[in-house]
A and B are shown apart, each in its own frame.
Chain A
Amino acid sequence: MIQKTFNAEETKVRELLKQIPDPEVEVNIVDLGLIYHIRKDDTAKTLEIDMTLSTPGCPVGDTIIQHVQNLLDINYADFSVSVNLIWEPEWTPDFITPEGREQLY
């Protein structure tokens, strides 16, 4: 299952991740629907992201993941950040948000 609702803290993370574009389609990875879950624990100081890629053969796949990691490391310096790449559920274009669809036009 993909996380559908986000609390204020998670929404802040989502907004931050919107800075990261997919280098091929130039739409940000949040609106592309690549971010599946965000888990932020202020007590344990951990920030965990589950994300996917549009295809396992994506030529810039781990660069996107590195981008997420670097951006969160800088903005959440006192947190332990982990970015997990997952393939379930398989990404489909249905995951693209209305905003993302607009950018594709």
Chain B
Amino acid sequence: MQAGLSTKNAPSIWVVAPHFLVGTLVFLIATIMLAFNQDALLTYHINGPVLAIVHLLILGWITTVIFGALYQLIPVIMEVKLFSERLAYITLVSLLSGLIIMVLSFLDFRFQLTLGFEIGGSLVFIAMVLFAVNTLKSAAKAEKKSIHGLFIQTSVIYLILTVLMGLFILFNLSYNVLPIPHTTLLVVHSALGLVGWFMMLIIGVASKLMPMFLIVHKTKLAWLKMAFWILNAGILMVTINAFFFSFNFYLNLISLLTILTGLSLFLRFNLDVFTRRLRRRLDIGMKLSVVGLSLLTLSIIAFILLFFNNGAIPLPGGRMEIIFGVLLLYGFFSGLILGQTYKTLPFIIWLFHYQSMVGKAKVPMPADLYKHKLAEFHLYTFIASLVALTTGLAFSIEWLVMIGILLMVITATLYSLNTIGMIFHNKKQLT
């Protein structure tokens, strides 16, 4: 009678919690490192520490938390048990050791392409393949097929292509295997990673969870199905244009419009869910998620300005790229992760501590496991940080950029206190 219920499918706390712990600490460390390298944001000087920070944020913070959250959410979305918890541990160890080796290589002041990048990159690649195997094997067991599952499975394939392309860029720089311009490979690498992996994954997960959290039925799945094919077509167009038409402007424009149409359909889907929601009062997790999703719109606007900027916008070279990167990494991705942490982590911790006690003793609610004042406060420091960062960058105000970074350090610190507090939750405090 109760087959398919995901409490029985839920992974062990020991699989999920370490990902959040590692991700949280990396978010804090990378942001503190940025405070010591803030001039890089204004001078667009890509040096070792900057590359270390970017890789820490993308792999150590965003990807690590996504892996952990997905191990918890696969049973919810696909109604199956995770294929292998052991594989999930090996994936985390491989990802972390690869990242550490890469970051140390970037921080080496004699910065050059060394064996460290190749070993680190290969370990990260192994981690991605193992994650893909775990996700796809889990999906294969699912009895019901859904558009959400399709987005997630496709995103995992793009993840592999992204990392393969990244590895190929590294080896091509060292050994010049193929005479392909570096920029061509980098553009395809970015399109595969940002649209194929991150966006497809976020669409798959968010389109299932948002209606669940906000209590909305009969969602517009047709919009999602259209978005799926349109986004895939957009990525394909970017790739073909980069490799065979040397970034033809009109093809670039069509690719951009195609991808924007796909993303607009996703935003339209969310807007529909949001306006029809029965649960009018938003909790802190949803507030942060809504801010994160709104920042996707701002990131898209920044990208459009970047695309059409032929010197028309009076900004120093590379500044628009930095603003886009800040809005995307620190704004959209981080905002969504901050919010969804409060919608996922408390439940796995709560199940671990209190599942056996319900109905027999007074137990707290999952939302009682973290400090709401801290979370509310870091919602405001997060928004203030992004306002300060983007304004400071747009008008080249150095002290405002520094304030923006410090506000993000405060955000990361408060978020860490809540996350670590939940992971090391003491049952006696609340019962």
Contacts and interface: CB of A to CB of B under 8 A. Distances in A.
Interface of A: 20-21, 23-26, 53-63, 65-71, 73-74, 84-86, 92-93, 96, 101, 104-105
Interface of B: 1-2, 4-8, 10, 72, 75-79, 212-213, 215-217, 278-281, 347, 350-351, 355, 358-360, 365-367
A51 B347 CA distance: 22
A18 B5 CA distance: 22
A68 to B, nearest CB: 7
A24 B213 contact: yes
A97 B384 CA distance: 40
B213 A57 contact: no
A37 B359 CA distance: 20
Contacts of A105: 280-281
Contacts, number: 92
B351 A57 contact: no
B335 to A, nearest CB: 21
30 contacts: A20-B359, A23-B366, A24-B366, A25-B215, A25-B279, A26-B367, A54-B212, A55-B212, A56-B5, A56-B6, A57-B4, A57-B78, A58-B76, A59-B6, A59-B347, A60-B350, A60-B351, A61-B5, A62-B5, A63-B351, A63-B355, A66-B355, A67-B358, A74-B359, A86-B1, A93-B278, A104-B215, A104-B278, A104-B281, A105-B281
A73 B76 CA distance: 29
Contacts of B8: 62
Q: Which 4 A-B pairs have the closest CB atoms?
A: A70-B359, A67-B358, A57-B76, A62-B7
Given A59-B76, A104-B280, 9 more contacts: A57-B79, A59-B7, A59-B10, A60-B351, A61-B2, A69-B359, A70-B358, A70-B359, A104-B278
Contacts of A74: 359-360
Contacts of B365: 21, 23, 26
A84 B355 CA distance: 19
A90 to B, nearest CB: 9
A105 to B, nearest CB: 5
Given A57-B79, A59-B10, A93 B216 contact: yes
B363 to A, nearest CB: 9
A71 B359 CA distance: 5
Contact of A85 (B2, B217, B279): B2
Contacts of B281: 104-105
A21 B363 CA distance: 11
A61 B278 contact: no
A68 B359 contact: yes
Nearest to B350: A23
Contacts of A67: 358-359
B220 to A, nearest CB: 16
B215 A56 contact: no
